[in-house]
């Protein structure tokens, strides 16, 4: 069953024109109402509203059979309120534009159409993915453990490729404490937090492993209070991305083992892994099934890609559930001014996803993937 392009675009416009920046809880709540209305019209049932830490998520249980397939998406975006004024929702020359169209409101619409009329599907739409799923991570993991497979309708990789590997993500803050002193009169009585911070930044950056594809990136940093005072405190943030759990654990151990270089200084590390990797083994069986379905229909199988960005697919794979990501829209410009969707790709791609869901519902249970790890 291939949905009509006009229906897909009409639904997408409704979602796009309800702005939903992740950090604005009221905006996310308004968006959830709109998503619930559009989804209910296509799925024939209203969702359960789940509010966690003030953030609004939606869950549909479709049909009466036990749920076997989990569909995952999010309705929050990175765009602040008012973006529609300068970047309105438009469809011109086959290109859909508007804030959040590619990441991932078009994908949500595709999920609604792909699941319509099916029995045994759970559709989970969260409202905090763009900020790391702080409230919904546990919910996603629980739903994943109850499912035989998880299909994530995030936007595709370039050229429509599916995302069969994703790096795991970790965030840290390294805090340094020294001792203040007058920078001109008696600097030797102080313990310079900026100097200690520099030592720690270099030590952390050295944990990266280019060969393994592990990036360890010191990002924001600050120290001190005034220009004529030996700084007493400072801190910097660290972004870590790794293809494997083993690499995540290696970096985690090393960052937690940081020790001060200057006598009298103290170092404290907070944070840790937020999403485990989506390793290739977690997606292999589902990717092969989708390629076979495409071949049976005389279509070229979609390409696959390994990407550095994380999604809620990392969480479903980390829970041990076979996971295929990037089933959503084809386009580009996520989080950028040129965000767009190639509208003509939406119907066939939705139909292919639906065929995969139908096969999963009819098939014998899928062997579970090996859990990639758990959040701290």
Q: How far is the C-alpha of 106 from the C-alpha of 73, rounded, in Å?
A: 10
Q: Of the listed 129, 143, 279, 312, which one is catalytic?
A: 129
Q: Which residues contact 67 (CB under 8 A, 6 or more apart)?
A: 61, 120, 121, 122, 146, 147
Q: Single out the residue of 249, 251, 250 nearest to residue 239, CA to CA.
A: 251
- Would you call 141 a catalytic residue per the annotation? no
Q: Of the listed 76, 141, 247, 345, which one is catalytic?
A: 76
**Which residue shows structure tokens 């973006």?**
83
- Would you call 76 a catalytic residue per the annotation? yes
- Cis geometry, peptide bond prior to residue 357 (ω within 30 degrees of 0): no
Q: How far is the C-alpha of 141 from the C-alpha of 145, rounded, in Å?
A: 6
* Torsion angle in degrees (nearest 10) through CA of 313, 319, 322, 325: 0
CA-CA distances (angstroms) from residue 291 to 13, 294, 296, 353?
Answer: 30, 5, 9, 11
Identify whether the C-beta of residue 118 lies closer than 8 Å to the C-beta of residue 71.
no
SS3 content of the chain, % helix, strand, coil (to 5): 35, 30, 35
Identify whether the C-beta of residue 173 lies closer than 8 Å to the C-beta of residue 95.
no
Q: How far is the C-alpha of 238 from the C-alpha of 202, rounded, in Å?
A: 12
* Torsion angle in degrees (nearest 10) through CA of 17, 153, 165, 369: 140
- Phi, psi at residue 326, to the nearest 5°? 80, 25
Catalogue the active-site residues: 76, 129
């Amino acid at each position: 069953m291939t949905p009509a392009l006009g229906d897909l675009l009409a639904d997408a416009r409704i979602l796009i024109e309800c702005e939903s920046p992740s950090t604005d809880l009221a905006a996310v709540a308004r968006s959830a109402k709109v998503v619930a209305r559009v989804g209910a019209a296509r799925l024939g049932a209203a969702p359960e509203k789940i509010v966690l830490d003030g953030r609004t998520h939606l869950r549909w249980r479709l049909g009466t059979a036990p749920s076997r397939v989990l569909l995952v998406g999010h309705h929050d975006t990175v765009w602040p309120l008012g973006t529609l004024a300068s970047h309105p929702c438009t469809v011109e020359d086959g290109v859909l534009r508007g804030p959040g169209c590619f990441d991932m409101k078009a994908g949500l619409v595709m999920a609604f159409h792909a699941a319509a009329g099916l029995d045994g599907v759970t559709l989970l739409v969260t409202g905090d993915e763009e900020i790391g799923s702080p409230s919904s991570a546990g919910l996603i993991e629980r739903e994943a453990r109850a499912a035989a497979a998880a299909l994530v309708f995030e936007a595709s990789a370039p050229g429509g490729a599916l995302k069969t590997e994703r790096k795991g993500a970790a965030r840290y803050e390294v805090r340094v404490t020294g001792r203040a002193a007058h920078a001109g009169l008696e600097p030797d009585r102080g313990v310079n937090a900026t100097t200690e911070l520099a030592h720690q930044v270099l030590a952390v950056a050295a944990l990266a492993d280019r060969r393994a594809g592990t990036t360890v990136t010191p990002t924001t940093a600050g120290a001190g209070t005034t220009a004529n005072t030996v700084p007493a405190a400072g801190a910097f943030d660290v972004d870590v991305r790794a293809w494997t759990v083993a690499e995540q654990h290696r970096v985690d151990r090393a960052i937690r083992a940081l020790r001060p270089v200057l006598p009298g200084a103290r170092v404290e590390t907070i944070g840790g892994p937020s999403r485990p990797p989506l390793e290739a083994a977690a997606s292999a069986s589902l990717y092969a099934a989708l390629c076979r379905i495409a071949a049976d229909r005389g279509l070229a199988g979609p390409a696959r890609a390994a990407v550095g960005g994380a999604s809620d697919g990392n969480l479903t794979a980390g829970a041990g559930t076979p996971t295929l990501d990037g089933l959503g829209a084809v386009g580009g410009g996520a989080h950028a001014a040129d965000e767009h969707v190639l509208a003509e790709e939406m119907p066939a791609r939705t139909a292919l996803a639906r065929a995969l869901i139908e096969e999963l519902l009819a098939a014998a249970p899928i062997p579970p993937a090996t859990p990639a790890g758990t959040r701290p």
